[in-house]
Amino acid sequence: MPDQLHQPVMPEQVIKFLNPQTGGKYVDLTLGLGGHARRILECSAPDGVLLGVDRDPEAIRRAKKTLEPFRKRLKIIHGRFSELDVHLNNIGWSQVDGMLADLGVSSLQLQDAQRGFSFQNAGPLDMRMDPGLDESLMTRLARMDEVALADVLKRFGEVRRARVIARRILRSIKEDPLMDTVELARIASEGRRKGRIHPATRVFMALRMMVNREQEELRALLDSLPDPLKPGGRVVFISFHSLEDRLVKQRLRDLEGICTCPPGLPKCCCGVRPLMRVITRRPVIPEQAELDRNPRARSARLRMAERLAA
């Protein structure tokens, strides 16, 4: 599969907001196939450096190949972004000038049927971004009950009639432990009308988020802010899910540290200190030309904030 298949989302906007500089230090927390990383390295030439992190060993393997021309200015780590402090420590970096988190799955993961993310082509019920570490979807489902599964479908996918769908899925995997993704999609769509988006889309998204603990990962990364950034350092988030965008928005707003004292107090006594400044008051969305080129970008929302001087 040629690596050009993954088109980075909002590349110009990422560069505009991250504003990579010669000699700067950057982290791409979701390296994928290195589309954004390549642009950051180009814009920070000749001596800007970049750490690329991804939990998917296949993405790491491919990014190493495609980013080979930049190897002298590039470090690549296979791992989770929730452990950013450990990764930075391992390479002897303390703080950086900019970080990018382009959340969710890559086209590489979606298009490889054997990874189990897609319902277009039959594959095993897997969905692990890191096949070496986490439990596969099938293993996870096998130890879940209907209430817990319905809760996941509702929370992460806002799936309607979640309890009915959860019951059907669990019954079917008991009868057929080798069930594939196409069959799972059929079960998840039974009795539901086909609209613009396939009725199984939300079910698959919710299951993927569960298998990869995506919310926990994002929360841990957000909690680590602003420590990994130098004063003036920037962080850019691209989310594809309203829940994730809300988490990002809320945490960045908290870091702005708006004083919560009642109006009229002569002196601030709430102790809330502003740590970051949010630059994108509203989420930035892709332009129509990009959506025409790359429909995968359709639900992308970009937010950016800058660490304030101490």
Ligand X SMILES: C[S@@+](CC[C@H](N)C(=O)[O-])C[C@H]1O[C@@H](n2cnc3c(N)ncnc32)[C@H](O)[C@@H]1O
Residues within the interface to ligand X (CB under 6 A): 6, 8, 30, 32-36, 53-56, 59, 80-82, 102, 104-106, 129, 217
Rounded-to-integer distance, Cα 70 and Cα 67, Å: 6
Question: In the complex with ligand X, which residue's Cβ is closer, 215 or 280?
Answer: 215
Q: Which residue has the tokens 């209430």?
A: 147
Q: Are 309 and 21 in contact (CB under 8 A)?
A: no
Q: Least separation, in Å, of the C-beta of 222 and ligand X?
A: 12
Residue nearest to ligand X (CB): 32
- Coil/strand/helix, residue 260: coil
Q: Are 65 and 202 in contact (CB under 8 A)?
A: no
Question: In the complex with ligand X, which residue's Cβ is closer, 53 or 252?
Answer: 53
Question: In the complex with ligand X, which residue's Cβ is closer, 56 or 97?
Answer: 56
Q: What's the sign of the alpha-carbon dihedral 92, 94, 97, 102?
A: positive
Q: Least separation, in Å, of the C-beta of 153 and ligand X?
A: 20
Q: Least separation, in Å, of the C-beta of 294 and ligand X?
A: 11
Question: In the complex with ligand X, which residue's Cβ is closer, 27 or 169?
Answer: 27
Q: Which residue has the tokens 């230090």?
A: 25
Torsion of CA 224, 149, 243, 186, to 10 degrees: 130
Q: Least separation, in Å, of the C-beta of 236 and ligand X?
A: 11
Q: Least separation, in Å, of the C-beta of 212 and ligand X?
A: 6
Read off the DSSP letter of residue 213. Answer: T
Rounded-to-integer distance, Cα 133 and Cα 74, Å: 25
Q: Which residue has the tokens 């070496």?
A: 132
Question: In the complex with ligand X, which residue's Cβ is closer, 56 or 306?
Answer: 56
Question: In the complex with ligand X, which residue's Cβ is closer, 55 or 234?
Answer: 55
With a CB cutoff of 8 Å and minimum separation 6, the contacts of 161 are: none
What token pair was written down for 78? 């296979």
Question: In the complex with ligand X, which residue's Cβ is closer, 129 or 235?
Answer: 129
Number of Cβ within a 10 Å radius of residue 199: 18
Q: Least separation, in Å, of the C-beta of 269 and ligand X?
A: 38
